Chain A
Amino acid sequence: MIVQGEAHLSVTLAEELIAKGLTIESLIQDGLTAALQSLNAKCTNEEFNLLEIMLAGRAMMAVLDNVVARHLPPSKTVQPGADRTIVLGTIEGDIHELGKHVVKMLLRSSGYRVIDIGKDIGPEEFVNRAIREGAGYIGVSSLLTTTIPSITRIRELLKKAGRSDIKLIAGGGAIQQTSKDDLNVDFVAQTAFDIFHYLKGLKSKA
């Protein structure tokens, strides 16, 4: 239901399953996480398109906001730490946001706290917000190669602030043609799921 992008039906079905005794943990594990894995498989097989993933993301968010959030015990609603917090934005000189929105939906669906700081954002703001929000990661999006100098500055500013521990991830459009050295970042994502896997990999190493 989620993978097919049926938001209303997904919420109704989730409510019914909970009423029948399904636990929230099972709903997340066997419903939402399984849906996410199925989308991931499509992405790996180049079956991915923005429309389908946005519809699935919308359905997933509807279940999270309308069903999961209402049934979660208070202890589970504690704000995630740095290892599950990411500041996302489109760098200055660019106003494209769609890719960023898709990443936001995917990460939120996977339990990350995502702080979307918007579009046309200067490198200083990325760093300031990441420090202020206690984020472990910065995700910088851009469609245009003209923004590369601004992206490379984020690392310099992080170093200056003594926060080289914050990981930098870049993705989107022309940026995909570059390397992490070109951009002075830790990772260049080719797809929205790449970021998800990268973060997961970091967690398992920690």
Chain B
Amino acid sequence: MNNAMTSFERVLNTLKGKPKDRVPVVPETFGVTAKTCGYSIYEYVTDASKLAESQLKARSLAGHDILFSFADLSVESEATGCKLSYKEDQYPAVAGPVAVNAGDIKNRDLPDPWKDGRMPVVLEASSRLRDAVKDTCIVAGCMMGPLSLAGQMMGLEHLLYQMADDPGAVDEVLDFTEEVARRYGMALLKAGVHCHVIFDPVASPIVVPHEMFRKLELPRLRRLFSEFRRAGSLISWLSIAGNTRKILPFYREANVELATVDYTVPVSEAFDLLGTVAVNGNMMPFCFVSCSPEEIKEAALKCLEETVERGNFLLGSGCEVPVEADISSVKALVEASQEFAVVGNNR
């Protein structure tokens, strides 16, 4: 075992290029943690105490270096008026858009994070997590990027068509969703999170051309991350899955300090494209359900070997660890990191 540092120190030292005892392990563990307490996904996403308890229990079992104050991807869309469909053991999903025309979004009321939808649930979970770990482990507050929230509020097809047919109106929608993200992000910080992760699946180059990412989303991400940092957020962390090669070179411009990169981009290539931005990745998420802990450990060791010359690497899943995975699969990553450090390969 090599746990001389707290998770908090391990992650921040890695990002600052300072010495660390081992590579931090920060897989995207959300609903998968609920099972460790015997809770359903519905309970996890609707009950702050169960969300916090699940996150803490999973970390106590697996030993990873992060806690996520995150329920699911539909928290903001629900707070802005989208109806969700809830099922007992699945994440809720947006049942339909609040408005299919871009022009109808801008005049909607902005949500109050302390009152609307399940935002208060996540805020309470943030406080519980922070109270539990103080400054020994990073509590990451998560939110949707402006483009992705716009896709949920309008329906992705409508958003995409109107990006071509009525770009001015879409710009106004993005002003609205950026403001939702800003308010929610500030509330998360006030509730106790240490840092912000922005998930932005619609900003992926497999959905919109990379020129549109630069024009429409990058300035908004830059503003959000800058404002969160000024308010005390410790890490500006962007998570976009899929083949992101074309936009990785622009992350620095968006003030991103940590990028989650999935298995479709080889980790060494991600480092080259990102410059000074730290990398979190990039195990194949399906591996967490299809491989044994030994196989996962072996794959993680290969990943660590590949990144040994790069100081700013955090081992992770690249995308969400599937909810049906066993927590032992996450523990296998931690064991790989510990073993790698013990044999003296960690630098």
- Identify A50's interface contact among B85, B208, B323, CB under 8 A: B208
Interface size grouping (class) on chain B:
20 to 34
Instruction: Tell me, yes or no, whether A78 is within 8 Å of chain B by CB.
Output: no
Q: Which of B85, B206, B207, B290 contacts A95 (CB 8 A)?
A: B85
Among B157, B243, B285, point to the contact of A174 (Cβ < 8 A).
B285
Cβ 8 A contact of A146, one of B90, B93, B156: B90
A27 at the interface (CB under 8 A from B): no
Q: Can you list 18 A-B contacts with CB-CB less than 8 angstroms, sorted by A residue number?
A: A46-B243, A46-B245, A49-B205, A49-B207, A50-B206, A54-B157, A54-B160, A54-B161, A55-B164, A58-B161, A101-B157, A144-B322, A145-B285, A145-B286, A146-B323, A177-B286, A178-B286, A182-B290
**Across the interface, do A51 and B284 meet the contact criterion of CB distance under 8 Å?**
no
Contact A49 B206 (CB under 8 A): yes
Residues of B within 8 A of A58 (CB): 161
Contact B157 A51 (CB under 8 A): no
Residues of A within 8 A of B157 (CB): 54, 98, 101
> Chain A contacts of B275 at CB under 8 A?
none
Within B72-92, which residues are at the interface with A (CB < 8 Å)? 85, 87, 90
B324 interfacial by beta-carbon distance below 8 Å: yes
**Which 7 pairs between the two chains have the least Cβ-Cβ distance?**
A177-B286, A145-B322, A50-B207, A51-B160, A95-B93, A51-B208, A49-B209
For B129-171 the 0/1 string (1 means CB < 8 A from A) is 0000000000000000000000000001100110110000000
In this complex, the member of A46, A52, A98, A177 whose beta carbon has the largest number of chain B beta carbons within 10 angstroms is A177
Closest Cβ neighbor of A177 among chain B residues: B286
Chain B residues positioned under 8 Å from A49 (CB to CB)? 205-209
A198 at the interface (CB under 8 A from B): no
- Give the docked Cα–Cα distance between A112 and B245 (Å): 34
9 additional A-B pairs beyond A50-B160, A50-B207, A146-B90, beta carbons within 8 Å, are A46-B243, A49-B205, A49-B206, A49-B208, A54-B157, A55-B160, A58-B161, A98-B156, A145-B285
Q: Is the CB of B207 within 8 A of A177?
A: no
> How many angstroms from the CA of A174 to the CA of B325 in the assembled complex?
14
Is B212 in the interface zone, CB < 8 Å from A? yes
Within the complex, what minimum Cβ distance (angstroms) separates B250 from chain A? 16
CB contact list, A31-85 vs B, under 8 A: 46, 48-52, 54-55, 58
Asked if A134 is at the interface (CB within 8 A of a chain B CB), the reply is no
Q: Are A177 and B285 in contact (CB under 8 A)?
A: yes
Residue from A93, A95, A145, A178 having most chain B Cβ neighbours under 10 A: A145
Cβ of A5 within 8 Å of any chain B Cβ, yes or no, is: yes
Q: Is B100 an interface residue (CB 8 A)?
A: no
The docked-state distance in angstroms from the alpha carbon of A174 to that of B322 is: 9
Smallest CB gap from B159: residue in A? A51
Q: How far is the CB of B262 from chain A (nearest CB, A)?
A: 10
How many angstroms from the CA of A54 to the CA of B205 in the assembled complex?
A: 14
Nearest CB in chain B: distance from A88 CB, A: 15
Interface string of B280-307 (1 = CB under 8 A from A): 0000111001100000000000000000
A50, A55, A93: most-surrounded residue (chain B CB, <10 A): A50
Nearest-CB residue, chain B, relative to A6: B164
Known: A54-B157, A54-B161. A146 touches B322 (CB 8 A): yes
Contact B286 A51 (CB under 8 A): no
Are A48 and B284 touching (Cβ within 8 A)? Answer: no
Q: Which B residues, 83 to 135, have Cβ-Cβ distances below 8 Å to chain A?
A: 85, 87, 90, 93, 95
CA distance A161 to B206 in the complex (A): 38
Chain B min CB distance to A93 (Å): 6
Quick check: A51 and B207 within 8 Å, CB to CB?
Answer: yes
